[in-house]
Amino acid sequence: MQSQRTTLACCGRHEGADVARHVSSRQCYMSAVFPQPRTVTPTSESANGHQGGAPGTGLNGGTGLNGKAPGKTPDGVAACRSPLPRVAGGTVLDVSPQVLVLDCDEGERRLALDAGTVVWRGGSVAATELQGGEHVVARLLPGHRDAADKVWARIGRVTGTVIDYAPDHLLVDVGKTRAPQTIVISSHAATRIQVRFPALGPGSVIDVIGLRRGEVLEAVVPATSQAASLARPVIGRSASVDARSGGISGAATWHEPVGPDEPAEGVAYPAVDPVDGCAEQTATGPGVAALPYLAVGSMLAVRNDCTGTTTVLPVTGCAPVAPLFYDRCLSCGPSARGRVADLTLASFVALGGDPERSCINATIMMGQRR
């Protein structure tokens, strides 16, 4: 996964423990002032008998990414929030056709596999093709804490603006607080990617998904249906607003963990309040202005419009390149144009998204509480 390599001040996922304390304390204050949580649309997990947690949020007291149980931040501040359901992750220790053994933060974790378990590693592969040391993220079967429904190995993503182009690699600007990312395009994926991005060169936008090989991403899948264009703020963004619910509909994407301190659950938002001083917020045109400002630590309800699953997530940072894309998500019919949220990988998986498909049709609602 990507690693943090710069120290520019920024909101969200680049502040590690400081932001964890800020988000946690904000939620604790909200819980004290508003003791009765607002009901959120029931999730598909609840419909399938998945029990526990805050009413209607689809969250429970089970394990989240890497099997972590609810606890405290590094400085002992109460977390005040449940971990993600249906998600496990770690490093592969061993694998057989029936069992995947992961090295997690708290020790070994075994996930049962069956004939219906799908494993993605640049494409569908047999579970036994997984290798020791590979990082994986798994979505669990509904109602099961130790049975994998789908597994993704070494999946990565690079979204941004091309700053250097060579026949064998691309260098991409992904935001002010991270070093540029290097992409290589595998020979078997070159044609497919060139169809979506026929005029790659300095100044054009790119969004690709592939296999993480250290600091390099081997691109396998183009992650947007937007035609290649010069990077600039979108004019006339058409994210759809539902006047009855106050929800904003569009596409929700995902990003890789930037570092070990980034929370497993959270959402990067394209219109973080400038008061938070987000160094990554590069676009200030109509594409961002169409969304209301939110502060880091605010709670945002995100609904997968294809499954009905809704989860309340904290805003943990900025989505610096989202305003550059005017694409639609096609998970279950075309969404409204425009990217309204950029989820952590674990949050995206928990909401029922398949990361190799790049996005989900989503509706976001402001001011939610757990």
- Return the structure tokens found at 43: 């999730």
Q: Is the pLDDT of residue 44 over 80?
A: no
* Residue 170: band (very low, low, confident or very high) from pLDDT cuts 50, 70, 90: very high
Q: Percent of the chain at pLDDT above 90?
A: 43
Q: Higher-confidence residue: 39 or 238?
A: 238
Q: Is the pLDDT of residue 46 over 60?
A: no
What is the pLDDT at residue 280? 61
Q: pLDDT digits over 263-314, tens only?
A: 889 999 988 887 766 656 544 444 444 688 888 889 999 999 999 999 999 9
For the segment 67-92, the average pLDDT, to the nearest whole number, is: 54
Q: pLDDT digits over 106-140, tens only?
A: 789 999 999 999 999 999 999 999 999 999 999 99
For the segment 252-256, the average pLDDT, to the nearest whole number, is: 94
Q: Name every residue whose Cβ is closer than 8 Å to that of residue 168 and which is 6 or more positions away in sequence.
A: 184
Q: In what order do the strands lie in the sheet with 135-140?
A: 107-112, 99-104, 87-95, 135-140, 148-153, 118-120, 124-125
pTM: 0.76
For the segment 205-228, the average pLDDT, to the nearest whole number, is: 88
Give the integer Cα–Cα distance in Å for 90 and 207: 25
What is the pLDDT at residue 272? 85
- Return the structure tokens found at 96: 């057989």
What is the pLDDT at residue 206? 93
What is the pLDDT at residue 27? 53
For the chain, helix, strand, coil in percent to 5 are 15, 35, 50
Q: Is the pLDDT of residue 240 over 90?
A: no
Q: Indicate the SS3 state at residue 125.
A: strand
